[in-house]
A and B are shown apart, each in its own frame.
Chain A
Amino acid sequence: MDLYIGLKVLWWVLLGVLLMGLAIMVGMDMGVGTLLRFVGKNDGERRQALNVVGPHWDGNQVWFILGGGAIFAAWPTLYATSFSVFYIVMILLLFSMILRPVAFEYRSKVASSKWRESWDWVFLVSGFLPMFVYGAAIGNILEGVGFHFGWDGQYYQTESFIWYLLNPFAILSGLLAVSMSVYQGGAMLMLRGTDPIASRARNYASVAGIIAIVLFIIGGFMISGMTGYSLISGDPGMPANAVSGQVVHAVSGAWLDNYAAQPILWIIPLLAIAGMLLGAMMLRANKPILGWWLGAIAWIGILGTVAASMFPFLMPSSDNLNQSLTVWNASGSRYNLIWMTIFTLIFVPTILAYTTWCFRVMRGKVNPPNPADDHAY
Chain B
Amino acid sequence: MDMLINPTVVELSRLQFALTALYHFLFVPLTLGLSFLLATMESVYVITGKPIYKEMTQFWGKLFAINFALGVATGLTMEFEFGTNWSMYSHFVGDIFGTPLAIEGLMAFFMESTFVGIMFFGWDRISAKAHLVVTYLVALGSNLSALWILIANGFMQDPRGGTFDPNTMRLEFSSFVQLIFNEDAQAKFVHTSIAGFVTGSMFVMGISAFYLLTNKRKDIALRSFRIAAVFGVISTIGVVTLGDALGFIDVKAQPMKVAAMEAIWNTDYNTASAPWNLIAFPDKAAGKNLFEIGIPYVLTPLLTHSEDTVIPGIHQLVDEAKPKVVNGIKAMVALKEYNHDHSNVQALATFKQYQADMGYGFLAMQYAPDQDLKKVDASNLASVVDKTAHETVPNVWVEFWAFRIMVALGFIMLAIFAFAAYFSLKNEVEKHPLLLKVALWSIPLPWFACEFGWITAENGRQPWTVYDMLPTFVSASSHSVGYMIFSLIGFVLLYSSFIAAEMYLMFKYARLGPQASHHGHDKAPAGGGMAGQPAFAKPSLAKK
Contact = CB atoms under 8 A, between A and B. Distances in A.
- Pick from A58, A239, A244 the residue with the most CB of B within 10 Å: A58
Contact of A239 (B111, B168, B531): B168
A94 B173 contact: no
Contact of B169 (A91, A152, A157, A335): A152
A289 B85 CA distance: 42
A373 B541 contact: yes
Contacts of B118: 55, 358, 361-362
A77 B82 CA distance: 12
Interface stretch (B28-36, B250-258, B296-304, B486-494): B486-494
B348 to A, nearest CB: 14
Contacts of A76: 90-91, 93-95, 98, 170
A339 B529 contact: no
Interface stretch (A27-35, A67-75, A200-208, A259-267): A67-75
A243 interface: yes
Given A69-B102, A73-B94, A373-B541, A82 B83 contact: yes
Contacts of B104: 69
Interface in A81-110: 81-84, 87-88, 90-91, 94-95, 97-102, 104-106, 109-110
A316 to B, nearest CB: 18
B455 interface: no
B106 A375 contact: no
A347 B110 CA distance: 10
A64 interface: yes
A222 interface: no
A59 B110 contact: yes
Best-surrounded residue of A65, A156, A339, A373 (most CB of chain B within 10 A): A65
B339 interface: yes
A73 B98 contact: yes
Contacts of B79: 65, 68-69, 72
B76 A94 contact: yes
B125 A362 contact: yes
Contact of B530 (A70, A73, A84, A373): A373
A214 interface: no
B498 interface: yes
B395 to A, nearest CB: 26
Given A99-B494, A105-B69, A239-B167, A65 B76 contact: yes
B122 interface: yes
A371 to B, nearest CB: 11
A80 interface: yes
Contact of A62 (B110, B167, B170, B477): B110
Interface in A264-286: none
Contact of A79 (B65, B77, B90, B487): B90
A66 B109 contact: yes
Given A73-B98, A77-B94, A91-B486, A241 B65 contact: no
A239 B505 CA distance: 52
Given A51-B530, A151-B339, A66 B110 contact: yes
Given A72-B94, A90-B84, A105-B69, A156 B528 contact: no
A69 B84 contact: no
A366 interface: yes
Contacts of B89: 80
B101 interface: yes
B218 interface: no
A326 B278 CA distance: 56
Interface in A319-377: 332-333, 335-336, 339-340, 343-344, 347-348, 351, 354-355, 358, 361-362, 364-367, 369-370, 372-376
Given A340-B102, A354-B111, A367 B527 contact: yes
B117 A336 contact: no
B84 A84 contact: yes
A336 B74 contact: no
A105 to B, nearest CB: 4
A150 to B, nearest CB: 4
Interface string A142-176: 00000000111111110001000000000000000
Nearest to B86: A80
Interface stretch (B265-273, B280-288, B305-313, B532-540): B532-540
A209 B95 CA distance: 40
B525 to A, nearest CB: 6
A54 interface: yes
Contact of B87 (A55, A80, A369): A80
B99 A336 contact: yes
Nearest to B533: A375
A71 B98 CA distance: 8
A56 interface: yes
B275 interface: no
A227 interface: no
B149 to A, nearest CB: 10
B-side interface size class: 35 or more
B103 interface: yes
A61 interface: yes
Contacts of B411: none
Given A77-B94, A373-B537, A102 B498 contact: yes
B479 interface: yes
A65 B95 contact: no
B377 interface: no
A146 B167 CA distance: 24
A74 B98 CA distance: 8
B498 to A, nearest CB: 6
Contact of A154 (B2, B74, B527, B533): B2
Contact of A362 (B75, B117, B533): B117
A91 B479 contact: no
A99 B491 CA distance: 11
A148 to B, nearest CB: 9
Contact of B478 (A79, A157, A375): A157
A367 B525 contact: yes
23 contacts: A55-B117, A58-B72, A59-B110, A66-B106, A66-B110, A68-B83, A76-B94, A80-B86, A80-B87, A91-B490, A102-B73, A109-B505, A152-B169, A152-B339, A154-B87, A155-B477, A243-B339, A333-B173, A343-B103, A344-B106, A362-B532, A367-B525, A369-B529
Given A91-B490, A335-B173, 15 more contacts: A55-B117, A73-B98, A76-B91, A79-B98, A80-B87, A102-B70, A102-B73, A105-B66, A109-B509, A110-B505, A150-B2, A155-B87, A354-B115, A361-B118, A373-B537
Interface of A: 51, 54-56, 58-59, 61-62, 64-66, 68-74, 76-77, 79-84, 87-88, 90-91, 94-95, 97-102, 104-106, 109-110, 150-157, 161, 239-241, 243-244, 332-333, 335-336, 339-340, 343-344, 347-348, 351, 354-355, 358, 361-362, 364-367, 369-370, 372-376
Interface of B: 2-3, 62, 65-66, 69-70, 72-77, 79-80, 82-99, 101-107, 109-111, 113-118, 120-122, 125-126, 165, 167-170, 172-174, 176, 336, 339-340, 342, 474, 477-479, 483, 486-487, 490, 494, 498, 501, 505, 508-509, 525, 527-534, 536-537, 540-541, 544
Q: Closest 7 A-B residue pairs measured CB to CB? A: A76-B94, A83-B83, A73-B98, A72-B98, A59-B114, A66-B105, A55-B117
